[in-house]
Amino acid sequence: MKIWKKEGQDGEWQLESEIARDAPVWRVEFSPIGNLLSVCSGDNQTAVYKEKTLGSGEWVQETLLNEEGVLRDK
């Protein structure tokens, strides 16, 4: 999965970060301020990532969930 960033209204899109997933990604949602990211994938798992520092582009997985609940916490 790739995260792109655009500087300003007329700026060019630049690749900010890549996050490896083992299954196809179905849906991606950012939190309102953009520092949390949830990713639902074809392996019936949802991963929650947190940006290390707002605007840094470095994403760390915080939690991994499946239909049973939490699989792995940070």
Write out pLDDT tens, residues 30-42: 999 889 999 999 9
pLDDT recorded at residue 73: 67
pLDDT recorded at residue 23: 92
Q: What is the mean pLDDT of the chain?
A: 88
Taking residues 7-13, report their average pLDDT.
Answer: 88
Q: pTM score, two decimals?
A: 0.78
**What is the DSSP secondary-structure string of 11-57?**
PPEEEEEE---SS-EEEEEE-TTSSEEEEEETTTEEEEEEESSTTS-
pLDDT > 80? residue 71: no
